[in-house]
């Protein structure tokens, strides 16, 4: 098995780039755009119904999310000229529920030297007096270094709850520069965080950077949010982790308190989360640890921060950002899911990129990992619930979930394991869950599993995107593998059909296994173990579209499992213009 895993790993590496994740921020050479004059076709099968995306063209990172005067604001990296990445401006939409969105004028367009060559990712901070301010990355010298700086933007009218207009002060802008004496790589100096303030009255902000292959979160301090001074040491760094894009740093309450902590919160009741988007792997990884406010230093509990760290999402999810929603005392996580289609297909669609469903995020009761769950507001789109009675599902069998619009649905299922006689032994060499899911895919019969959901499925199961569990027995414990298998998601040979996987920290016997899938035409977001593990998949079925899409519960393992709860809802279309 070890040799076959190694061979498959090499195969995956070689074919993984069929549709590569395009760079989120700043290229070594500014790319020309691919102009798209094509409006998205009517009844386009892959356009989502309730995931955020603009009417057309390229979208990537969520930027500057905040709540201001009762209005949620979402900014995002946007190319108004085509479906491929190009030097970005910021798109801007507003909402009262983070489900239905109204467009506002584009902002951060080329205005001064500081952002003449594009406006890259950044964050919003609410200053005293309820005054929003945005810090974001610009480029002042496009060639050959792509010299990056941090710019300040302010709203023109604080009385406008929609904050339609922003400007860049011409004085003292940019507000942060790469300093050669501090060995800052000027082409890898980007994506400032939301700022926080300590009792000394100084603001702190982090900027992503790398020195050779050591990734780091540089810290800057300021008394007035205009004049920033770099700290002598990064908040934290780690060798061989590469460039840290879109860093995020925020407090969470201990002992499973769902209530979110305001960004400047410190004290004995909180832990801190440091997150980075690793440019080398295009994964959003995070650690939980302690923040020493006297030294302005962070120490992860597990002692490392690299590709082996915990991830928000083990599928299509990158360049994420959180913000504190003070109206409901919760922290909200936003992320970008890029396409798995080709650039040519994107031109035909007329758009590229979506955002994941906003998620409430909190620390689990053991202070070991974060829990994520779709915001409760998304449930306002649910139609009448369809319930499948409690039942046993034997091996090699399926149960169709009928009575819903399967292409745009919310499905929740829970399993109870009754038969442990055929559980497979876990091999300690299986350290890569994604690779294990590729070897032990949907069609590979096991002892306990695979069992789960076949989403975006054709009637004859020629196409489906499978989300499932496998249970193994290791020394003195069970190991739960969660997989999202896109290998049969489409008849189109050019789309990326990568399989994703992760281990779920759950006791399958004592707790059972739960799965929630948000299905939306070309995306399936799967929440396993009540939000302990999340996988986002992109799929482009050619048969299972519109009314021809189906959802099945399935068990292809040798042992029977019991469905203890299965409820599904058709989802209405959100108002997103």
**Strands across the sheet with 71-79, in order?**
102-107, 89-95, 71-79, 57-68, 351-352
Residue identified by tokens 């995956």 is 12
Instruction: Give catalytic residue positions.
Output: 61
How far apart CA 395 and CA 560 sit, in angstroms, is 6
Scanning the structure block, which residue is given the tokens 């201001």?
Answer: 68
Contact 336, 61 (CB under 8 A): yes
Q: Tokens representing 346?
A: 């994107």
- Strand 448-457 and strand 465-474: the pairing is antiparallel
Contact between 175 and 202 under an 8 Å Cβ cutoff? The reply is no
Judged by DSSP in three states, 548 sits in helix
Give residue 389's Cα distance to chain centre. 33
Question: Contact, 540 vs 46, CB < 8 A?
Answer: yes
Q: How far, in Å, CA of 461 to CA of 197, rounded?
A: 55
CA-wise closest residue to 393 among 461, 445, 473, 452: 452
**Of 569, 554, 558, 534, nearest in space to 415 by CA:** 554
Token pair belonging to 3: 């040799």
Which residue blocks in 343-429 are alpha helix, DSSP H? 343-349
Q: Residue 433 is inside which H or E element, if any?
A: helix 433-439
Going by C-alpha positions, the residue among 534, 397, 545 that lies closest to residue 457 is 545
**Distance of alpha carbon 234 from alpha carbon 241, whole angstroms:** 15
């Amino acid at each position: 098995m070890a040799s076959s895993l190694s061979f498959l790993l090499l195969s995956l590496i070689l074919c993984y780039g069929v549709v590569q994740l395009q760079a989120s921020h700043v290229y070594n050479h500014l790319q020309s755009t691919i102009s798209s004059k094509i409006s998205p076709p009517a009844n386009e099968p892959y356009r989502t119904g309730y995931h955020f995306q603009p009417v057309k063209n390229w979208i990537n990172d969520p930027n500057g999310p905040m709540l201001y005067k009762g209005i949620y604001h979402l900014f995002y990296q946007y190319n108004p000229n085509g479906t491929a990445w190009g030097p970005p401006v910021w798109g801007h939409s507003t909402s009262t529920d983070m489900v239905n969105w109204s467009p506002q004028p584009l902002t951060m367009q080329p205005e001064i030297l500081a952002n003449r060559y594009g406006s890259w990712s950044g964050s919003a901070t609410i200053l005293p007096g309820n005054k929003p301010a945005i810090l974001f990355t610009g480029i002042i010298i496009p060639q050959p270094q792509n010299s990056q700086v941090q710019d300040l933007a302010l709203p023109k009218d604080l009385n406008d709850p929609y904050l339609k207009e922003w400007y860049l002060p011409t004085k003292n802008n940019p507000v942060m520069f790469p300093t050669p004496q501090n060995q800052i790589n000027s082409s890898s100096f980007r994506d400032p965080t939301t700022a926080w303030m300590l009792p000394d009255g100084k603001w702190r902000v982090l900027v992503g950077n790398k020195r050779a292959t050591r990734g780091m979160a540089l810290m800057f301090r300021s008394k007035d949010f205009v004049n920033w001074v770099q700290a002598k040491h990064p908040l934290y760094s780690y060798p061989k982790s590469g460039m840290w894009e879109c860093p995020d740093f925020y407090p969470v309450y201990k002992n499973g308190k769902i209530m979110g902590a305001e960004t400047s919160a410190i004290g004995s009741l909180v832990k801190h989360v440091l997150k980075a988007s690793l440019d080398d792997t295009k994964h959003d990884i995070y650690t939980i640890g302690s923040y020493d406010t006297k030294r302005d230093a962070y120490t992860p509990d597990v002692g490392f921060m690299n590709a082996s760290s915990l991830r928000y999402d083990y599928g299509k999810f990158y360049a994420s950002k959180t913000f504190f929603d003070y109206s409901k005392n919760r922290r909200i996580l936003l992320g970008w899911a890029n396409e798995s289609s080709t650039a040519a297909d994107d031109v035909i669609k007329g758009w590229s990129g979506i955002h994941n469903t906003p998620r409430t995020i909190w620390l689990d009761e053991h202070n070991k990992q974060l829990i994520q769950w779709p915001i409760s507001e998304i449930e306002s789109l649910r139609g009448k619930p369809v319930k499948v009675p409690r039942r046993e599902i034997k091996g090699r069998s399926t149960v169709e979930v009928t009575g819903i619009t399967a292409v745009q649905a919310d499905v929740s299922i829970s399993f109870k394991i009754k038969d442990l006689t055929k559980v497979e032994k876990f091999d300690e060499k299986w350290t890569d869950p994604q690779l294990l899911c590729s070897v032990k895919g949907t069609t590979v019969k096991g002892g306990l599993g695979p069992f789960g959901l076949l989403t975006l499925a054709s009637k004859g199961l020629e196409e489906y995107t499978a989300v499932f569990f496998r249970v193994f027995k290791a020394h003195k414990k069970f190991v739960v593998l969660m997989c999202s298998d896109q290998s049969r998601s489409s008849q189109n040979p050019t789309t990326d059909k990568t399989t994703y996987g992760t281990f779920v920290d759950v006791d399958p016997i004592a707790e059972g296994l739960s799965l929630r899938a948000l299905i939306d035409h070309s995306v399936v977001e799967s929440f396993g173990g009540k939000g302990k593990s999340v996988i986002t998949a992109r799929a482009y079925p050619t048969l299972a579209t519109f009314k021809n899409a189906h959802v099945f519960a399935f068990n292809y393992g040798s042992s029977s499992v019991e469905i203890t709860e299965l409820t599904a809802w058709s989802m209405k279309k959100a108002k997103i213009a």
